[in-house]
C-alpha cells in the first residue's frame, strides 16, 4: 500500500478530501463518489459532541427537513451515513460559493441579476412552505451559487416543521440572524413562519440591489428598534418597481405584509420569470434518520493514518480538486477567486513555512497556536462576529514541495478578506513561482 493511499479516509463509497468549511458543531469536507466520480460535500458531525451538547433533535430535524425538500434551488441531500463515532450527511457540492461573496466583491448587483436570484429564492421558499418547512435563517451567507449561476438554499439547521407549531398555530422560538429577522419574531408573541421568511427575502433583495443592509446598528437593542419602525431609505439606483415590492415585503405588520402568491404576481418580480421544471418526489422516507443515531446503520469507515513528525500527504484527488491546470503555482488563488480559503505552494522546508506564517500573522494582530503541522491564528480583537480565527495546515506534495491551506474557522467574512490581502503580501517570499513569473 502506498503512502498516499494510507493518508486517505474512506466513508462507504466516498473518498473524503479537504475541508470546505468549519462550524461550531460540524466540518464540511469535499469528497468523491468512487463509483461515479461525482464530487459531493460531506457534513461531518461527532456523535459524542452531539450527545454532549444535546443536539440530537436539532440535527435530526435538519436531516429530515432536507429529505423533504427536493427542489432545483435547494442544496440536495443524497444520503446519510454513520460510523460508531460520526454522522455523515452527503450533500450536493455547489462550486460557486456564497451569494454573499458576490455582494462583497461587486458592492451591489445589477437589477436583472438580483431579480433572477430573488425569483429562484422565492420559488424555492414557496416550495419549502408547501412542504411545511420554514427556513428561519435566510441570508446571503446561506445562499450558494452553482457553476451555472443558479441559486441554492443551504443550512436548514434552524428550520421548523409543522410539529413545531404550538396550539395557536404559530412558532415561538426566537432564532435567525438579527439583521434579517422579522420584527414579530423578536417580540416573543408567536409568529407565522411563512411571513417571517418573506421578510428575510425582502432584506436579501434590498442587500442585493443596494450592497448594504436596510437596518443595521452595532447595538442590538438599537437595531431591533430600527427593525420595528421599518423606515426604509432607498438609494436612487433602485427602480420604482423594486422599491414598491421591497416596501411590501418589509411591512412591519405581518398581517399586511405581501404573501408569496402575491409576490409571484408582482409586475417587477415577473419580468423574465422562468419557474423551474422538476419532478416532485411525493414519497419521502425519513426512517433512516433515527437509524443514524441508534447505531443500526452499517457503514465502512477507514480512518486517516497519521505520519508522525511529517506533514500529511496532499493526495492526488485533493490536488486535482484545487488546481486550475497542471501548474501547481495555480494553487495561489487570484484575488477574484478567493472565498473562505487560501492555498499556496512553497519549496521552503515546512518548519520555515511555519515560522514565516507566525512572523506575518503576529503583526496583523493574531495569536498563533501550533500542533505539529497544524496552526490556529486567533485574532486578538473582537470584530463584527466575534474574534476572527484562521485554521492552517501544511501538506506534503513531494519531498521538496508543500501546499499550505488556510481557511476561515470563525469570524466575519469581510474581516477575513482584509486579512487575506495583508497576509498574502507578507508571505510572497516563500510562495513558489514558475521561472517566467520570477523573472517579471
CATH number at residue 124: 1.10.510.10
Q: Are residues 118 and 41 in the same domain?
A: no
- How confident is the model over 362-381, as a mean pLDDT? 87
Q: Is the dihedral of CA 403, 404, 409, 410 positive or negative?
A: negative
Q: Which of 416, 433, 239 is nearest to 338 (CA)?
A: 416
Q: Are residues 16 and 105 in the same domain?
A: no
Contacts of 30 (CB under 8 A, 6+ apart): 16, 17, 18, 19, 20, 39, 40, 41, 42, 93, 318, 321
Q: Is 188 left (phi over 0), alpha (psi -120 to 50) or beta?
A: left
Look at residue 334 and tell me if it is in a domain: yes
Give pLDDT, residue 287.
56
Provide Rg for the chain, Cα atoms.
23
**Is the model's pLDDT at 439 over the cut of 50?**
no
The alpha carbon of residue 302 and the mean position of all alpha carbons in its chain are separated, in whole angstroms, by 27
For the stretch 208-263, pLDDT in tens is: 999 999 999 999 999 999 999 999 999 999 999 999 999 999 999 999 999 999 99
C-alpha 361/C-alpha 286 separation (Å) is: 47
Give pLDDT, residue 362.
92
- How confident is the model over 156-170, as a mean pLDDT? 86
What's the domain range around 131? 99-270
Mean pLDDT for the chain overall: 83
**Contact present, 156 and 135 (Cβ < 8 Å):** yes
Count of structural domains, the chain: 3
Number of C-alpha atoms within 13 angstroms, CB side, residue 43? 22
Residue bearing cell 434552524: 158
Q: Is 372 left (phi over 0), alpha (psi -120 to 50) or beta?
A: left
pLDDT-derived band at 440 (thresholds 50, 70, 90) equals very low
Catalytic amino acids?
Answer: 137
pLDDT-derived band at 285 (thresholds 50, 70, 90) equals low
**Is the model's pLDDT at 301 over the cut of 50?**
no
Q: Are residues 53 and 110 in the same domain?
A: no
CATH number, domain of 381, equals 3.30.310.80
**Contact present, 269 and 58 (Cβ < 8 Å):** no
DSSP class of residue 384?
B
Look at residue 130 and tell me if it is in a domain: yes
Q: Are residues 87 and 103 in the same domain?
A: no
Q: Where among 215, 249, 270 does a domain terminate?
A: 270
Q: Which of 414, 416, 362, 369 is nearest to 392 (CA)?
A: 369
Q: Which of 193, 338, 163 is nearest to 257 (CA)?
A: 193
Q: Are residues 207 and 77 in the same domain?
A: no
Q: Are residues 376 and 412 in the same domain?
A: yes
CATH number, domain of 52, equals 3.30.200.20
Helix, strand, coil percentages (3-state) for the chain, rounded to 5, are 40, 25, 40
Q: Are residues 166 and 28 in the same domain?
A: no
C-alpha 39/C-alpha 16 separation (Å) is: 10
pLDDT greater at residue 434 or residue 357:
357
DSSP class of residue 362?
G
Contacts of 161 (CB under 8 A, 6+ apart): 61, 64, 65, 132, 133
The alpha carbon of residue 361 and the mean position of all alpha carbons in its chain are separated, in whole angstroms, by 25
C-alpha 431/C-alpha 346 separation (Å) is: 5
Cell of 239: 427602480
Q: Are residues 263 and 359 in the same domain?
A: no
pLDDT greater at residue 385 or residue 180:
180
Q: Where among 93, 112, 141 does a domain terminate?
A: 93
pLDDT greater at residue 354 or residue 315:
354
Q: Which long-range contacts (CB under 8 A, 24 or more apart) does 263-268 make?
A: 263/122, 263/198, 264/122, 264/126, 266/241, 267/241, 268/115, 268/239, 268/241, 268/242, 268/244
Give pLDDT, residue 192.
95
Q: Is the dihedral of CA 158, 161, 166, 170 positive or negative?
A: positive
Look at residue 215 and tell me if it is in a domain: yes
Q: Are residues 141 and 42 in the same domain?
A: no
Look at residue 139 and tell me if it is in a domain: yes
For the stretch 57-85, pLDDT in tens is: 888 888 888 888 999 999 999 988 888 78
Residue bearing cell 443595521: 216
Q: Where among 236, 270, 304 does a domain terminate?
A: 270
Q: Are residues 50 and 132 in the same domain?
A: no
Look at residue 303 and tell me if it is in a domain: no
Ranges 284-293, 361-370, 377-386, 409-418: which has the least confidence: 284-293
**Is the model's pLDDT at 283 over the cut of 50?**
yes
Q: Are residues 148 and 246 in the same domain?
A: yes
Look at residue 188 and tell me if it is in a domain: yes
In the chain, % of residues over pLDDT 70: 83
Give pLDDT, residue 325.
42
Give pLDDT, residue 318.
58
Q: Are residues 181 and 167 in the same domain?
A: yes
Give pLDDT, residue 332.
43
Q: What angle do CA 250, 256, 260 make, to 5 degrees?
A: 70
pTM over 0.75: no
Look at residue 78 and tell me if it is in a domain: yes
Look at residue 278 and tell me if it is in a domain: no
- How confident is the model over 160-179, as a mean pLDDT? 88
**Is the model's pLDDT at 329 over the cut of 70?**
no
C-alpha 31/C-alpha 91 separation (Å) is: 10
43 in a known ligand binding site: yes
Amino acid at each position: 500500500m502506498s503512502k498516499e493511499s494510507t493518508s486517505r479516509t474512506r466513508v462507504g463509497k466516498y473518498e473524503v478530501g479537504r475541508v470546505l468549511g468549519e462550524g461550531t458543531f460540524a466540518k464540511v469536507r469535499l469528497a468523491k463518489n468512487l463509483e461515479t466520480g461525482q464530487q459531493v460535500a460531506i457534513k461531518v458531525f461527532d456523535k459524542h459532541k452531539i450527545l454532549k451538547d444535546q443536539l440530537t433533535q436539532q440535527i435530526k430535524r435538519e436531516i429530515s427537513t432536507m429529505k423533504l425538500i427536493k427542489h432545483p434551488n435547494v442544496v440536495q441531500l443524497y444520503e446519510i451515513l454513520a460510523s460508531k463515532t460520526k454522522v455523515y450527511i452527503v450533500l450536493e457540492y455547489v462550486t460557486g460559493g456564497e451569494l454573499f461573496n458576490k455582494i462583497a466583491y461587486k458592492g451591489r448587483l445589477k437589477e436583472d441579476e438580483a431579480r433572477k436570484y430573488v425569483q429562484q429564492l422565492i420559488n424555492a421558499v414557496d416550495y419549502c412552505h408547501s412542504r411545511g418547512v420554514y427556513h428561519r435563517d435566510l441570508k446571503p451567507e446561506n445562499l450558494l451559487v452553482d457553476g451555472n449561476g443558479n441559486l441554492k438554499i443551504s443550512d436548514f439547521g434552524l428550520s421548523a416543521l409543522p410539529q413545531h407549531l404550538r396550539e395557536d398555530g404559530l412558532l415561538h422560538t426566537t432564532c435567525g440572524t438579527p439583521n434579517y429577522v422579522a420584527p414579530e419574531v423578536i417580540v416573543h408573541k408567536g409568529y407565522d413562519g411563512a411571513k417571517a421568511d418573506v421578510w428575510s427575502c425582502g432584506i436579501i433583495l434590498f442587500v442585493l440591489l443596494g450592497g448594504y443592509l436596510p437596518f443595521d446598528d452595532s447595538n442590538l437593542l438599537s437595531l431591533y428598534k430600527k427593525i420595528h419602525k421599518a423606515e426604509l431609505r432607498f438609494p436612487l439606483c433602485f427602480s420604482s418597481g423594486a422599491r414598491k415590492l421591497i416596501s411590501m415585503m418589509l411591512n412591519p405588520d405581518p398581517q399586511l405584509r405581501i404573501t408569496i402568491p402575491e409576490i409571484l404576481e408582482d409586475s417587477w418580480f415577473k419580468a423574465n420569470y422562468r419557474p423551474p421544471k422538476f419532478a416532485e418526489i411525493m414519497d419521502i422516507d425519513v426512517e433512516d434518520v433515527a437509524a443514524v443515531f441508534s447505531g443500526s446503520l452499517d457503514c465502512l469507515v477507514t480512518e486517516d493514518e497519521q505520519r508522525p513528525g511529517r506533514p500529511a500527504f496532499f493526495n492526488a484527488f485533493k490536488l486535482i480538486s484545487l488546481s486550475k491546470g497542471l501548474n501547481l503555482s495555480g494553487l495561489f488563488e487570484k484575488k477574484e477567486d478567493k472565498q473562505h480559503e487560501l492555498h499556496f505552494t512553497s519549496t521552503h522546508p515546512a518548519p520555515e513555512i511555519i515560522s514565516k506564517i507566525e512572523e506575518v500573522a503576529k503583526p496583523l494582530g493574531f495569536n498563533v497556536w501550533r500542533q505539529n503541522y497544524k496552526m490556529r491564528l486567533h485574532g486578538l480583537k473582537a470584530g463584527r462576529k466575534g474574534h476572527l480565527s484562521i485554521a492552517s495546515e501544511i501538506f506534503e506534495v513531494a519531498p521538496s514541495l508543500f501546499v499550505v491551506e488556510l481557511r476561515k474557522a470563525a469570524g466575519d467574512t469581510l474581516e477575513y478578506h482584509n486579512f487575506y490581502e495583508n497576509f498574502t503580501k507578507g508571505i510572497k517570499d516563500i510562495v513558489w513561482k514558475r521561472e517566467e513569473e520570477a523573472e517579471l
